[in-house]
Structure 1
Amino acid sequence: MQWVLAALCLLPPQAEAAAQAPASRAPVIRLASSEWPPYVGKDLSALGASTAVIRAALATAGYQLQVDFFPWRRTIAAAGRDSDFVGYFPEYMSADVAQNCLLSKPIGTGPLGFAERADMPIRWQRLDELSRYTIGVVDGYINTRELDQRVREHQQPVDAAHNDVQNLVKLAAGRVSLAVIDRRVFEYLRRNDPQIRKIASQLRFNSHLLEEKPLFVCFRRDRAGEQARRALNEGLKTIDIAAVMATALR
């Protein structure tokens, strides 16, 4: 990932007043993110399920949340040390992410697997059984540790797309045999994206899941990032994450 998306910062009182309603005095934590419905999206209710979880957790800790949207690679870059943001979401765990980020506690999970063509289902149990197929991935997204390692070692042919929609279009056209995607994202796009709705009958989700992936906020490795992470983690202890996600996903 995918499901690579957000950055956050603590704004001074004058910036806070400009960004929020005058009656509010709660400090603001600002995050960068990228369109990844139903987890995050500027046109979604509550800005998506992951956003709803973060907002609810921060509210219990006395903070407000502001989310700014960018393309995925810009989202990651937005959380740089000199940025107004102090983190991004949602992110998967990887060695590089753990080295570069202060990771929050999980803000939920997402079922990562493969989309496939309905007329060409693929049965598999081990990833090494897929080496004769070309798999569609999204540029900049983390997948699973094993799959990404196989790609790095040139043991698994892949074809990179700019986003999940393009990846699914390539799958339907036969340019790849499988496409890595979160199952909820796949189902959302089949129902709501104009391009994917036209080809929805040609696609299905492979029954063998890659992994149930925890989702995180990646905070900047500095004092502001640590302060924001601490606030979020404290808030996450007080809410029912699964219930908040379920409500937002309805």
Structure 2
Amino acid sequence: MKKILIISLLISLSCFSRADTLYLTSLEWPPYSGKKLINQGASVAVAKAAFASMGHELIVEFYPWSRAVKLASDDKKYAGYFPEYSYESDDFVFSEPMGKGPLGLVQQTGNPIKWNTISDLTQYKLGVVQDYINTAELDGLIASGRISAQAVVSDDKNVQKVAAGRIDAAVIDQNVLKYLLSNEANLRKLADKVEMNDRLLVNKDLHIAFENTQEGKKWRDIFNEGLKKIDVKAIMAKHL
């Protein structure tokens, strides 16, 4: 019996020694991520649950978006950043989807923009958030100058500009707009002035972007395995 207890203790200690703490960066992007949100937001709750299911602890540190991405690339403390849409990159590798985000356009209530294809948006002045990935086609038309777009540092700024008629519409996640209009004091008064356009750009998968290194790929694989052990949809639904 004593020998069995010793063996069990050694196994337990061995498992404990393999548990690691992982650091990722994120941004204030409620309801998906935010320092003061319940469980730090829907995407953070999913990420922490997935890593916990594999015996690891996740610590998320929050920065402005551009800095969050840069730190994930330059600072060895961090293995990556999230939530992010997948895109072509030499610097990062992407996890399996950890939820979805309905990406569309916020417009003035009673003054909807009309479009069927992305190229129809060339007739409008749009707002985007600096360094956000949208869709390849939309970002390409903006980069070429065919779509007139103004960049701001956060979604709330675009909502204010749409409400004031300074731009025709702005790219935004539908859940983000809903949260902002319900919870941000300076935007509640705009709830009857703006609305989502009926047509979505895309219902985009959300991912963790891990640094494209051996260490980053190791954590990506651990996270992907952890996703299989949790109910992603239920966790997301609880926080959205």
Structure 1 length-normalised TM: 0.86
* Structure 2 runs not aligned, ≥5 long: 1-15
Matched with 2:101 is: 110
2:178 maps to 187
Does residue 238 of the first structure (1) align with residue 229 of the second (2)? Answer: yes
Counterpart of 1:32 in structure 2 is 25
How many Å separate the matches in 2 of 1:40 and 1:59? 18
Following the alignment from structure 2 to structure 1, what is the Cα–Cα distance between the partners of residues 73 and 109? 42
Write the deviation string for residues 134-180 of structure 1: whole angstroms up to 9, x where unpaired. 00100110111110111111110001111000011111111110010
User: Is the 8 Å Cα contact of residues 35 and 62 (structure 2) preserved in structure 1?
Assistant: yes
CA distance in 2, matches of 1:35, 1:211: 22
Tell whether the 8 Å contact from 2:94 to 2:210 is kept in structure 1 after alignment: yes
Match among 71, 79, 85 for residue 78 of structure 1: 71
1:57 equivalent in structure 2: 50
Aligned partner of residue 190 in structure 2, secondary structure: helix
**CA deviation digits over 1:72-114, x for unaligned, max 9?**
000001112443101000111122xx32201111111100000
Counterpart check, 1:215 vs 2:220: no
Instruction: Tell whether 2:131 aligns with 1:140.
Output: yes
Task: Give secondary structure in 2 for the equivalent of 1:99.
Answer: coil
The one-letter code matched in structure 1 to 2:195 is R
Aligned length: 225
Cα distance in 2 for partners of 1:102, 1:133 equals 34
Name the counterpart of 1:45: 38
2:160 is matched with which residue? Answer: 169
Higher Cα radius of gyration: 2
Counterpart amino acid of residue 202 in structure 2: E
Aligned 8 A contact 2:90 2:212 in 1: no
Which residue of structure 1 aligns with residue 3 of structure 2? none
Q: Secondary structure at the match of 1:213?
A: strand
Letter in 2 for 1:77: K
Aligned to 2:194: 203
Pick one of 116, 119, 133 that aligns with 2:110. Answer: 119
* Cα offset, 1:24, TM superposition: 11
Q: Any gaps of 5 or more consecutive residues in structure 1?
A: 1-22
Q: Which residue of structure 2 aligns with residue 226 of structure 1?
A: 217
Runs of at least 4 residues of structure 1 off by over 4 A?
Answer: none
* Distance in 2 of aligned mates of 1:139 and 1:63: 33
- Tell me what 2:150 maps to: 159
Contact preservation (8 Å) 1:116, 1:179: yes
Structure 1's 177 and 223: CA in aligned 2 closer, same or farther, altered over 3 A?
same
Match of 2:223, SS state, is helix
Identity of counterpart residues, as a percentage? 43
TM-score by length of 2: 0.90
